[in-house]
Amino acid sequence: MANPPPIPPPAAGYWWRTFACLADIIPLMFLGWALAALLASPEELAARKQTEAWTQRLTNQYLHALQTGSQRELQGIVDAALHPKKEDLDAAEIWITFQGTMTFMTMLGALTMQEWLMKGRTIGKLIFSLRTIQLPMAEPPSFLSALLRSAWKAAFFALPNPLFMILGIINFHVPLFRRDKRAWHDLWSRSQVVDARLP
């Protein structure tokens, strides 16, 4: 007769989980941006330069309008932000898409390999003494489980897509309303984040 699955350790608290996630994501986000700048083609670098020039013009116009207090100039900023030139919009789309894709790939690779090779831990989880387990046997996550979890987090934080952002914000709050403190990506990957200090 087969042994029943072990009782998993208690689920990690919402805030500890949040802090661990941010400790993982923020450095990887900066790394993704740096890699995007390093690996960009001449067209993408030109789009980046034009995007930065456009945002700098808007910033300068905004600061000037604040200093003068002119309603006309404030309205001009709103019009410029809502109706940008086509070439500025095209450049922003090229650069933001490339930067988001590079950041997504960086996060996906780093988070997947950490969680898989470090047996359910990432740098953030090590800092806050958490780990991910595969249910029902409370084992370290499989490669596929780590990949699914990481893909969801990377898409939410890196891809410039409003749908991913809305779903990500909802998913971020799901553990607050579940007794097992699991988010959607935990459910899909049959995993759970638990306190690593407990057996």
Question: From the CA atom positions of the chain, what is the Rg in Å?
Answer: 22
Nearest-angstrom CA–CA distance, 55 and 63: 12
Q: Which residues contact 73 (CB under 8 A, 6 or more apart)?
A: 61, 64, 65
Tokens 């500890």 found at: 16
Report pLDDT for 120.
94
Report pLDDT for 133.
94
Environment class of residue 83 by beta-carbon count within 10 Å: exposed (0-12), middle (13-18) or buried (19+)?
A: exposed
Angstrom CA distances, 199 to 20, 130, 135, stand at 20, 12, 15
Sequential pLDDT tens for the chain (199 residues) = 566 677 777 889 999 999 999 999 999 999 999 999 999 999 999 999 999 999 998 888 888 877 887 788 778 778 877 888 899 899 999 999 999 999 999 999 999 999 999 999 999 999 999 999 998 888 999 999 999 999 999 999 998 888 888 998 999 999 999 988 999 999 999 999 999 886 5
Nearest-CA neighbor of 14 among 137, 138, 130?
130
Nearest-angstrom CA–CA distance, 109 and 116: 11
Extract the tokens encoding 71.
């309603």
Bond prior to 10 in cis (omega within 30° of 0): no
Report pLDDT for 2.
63
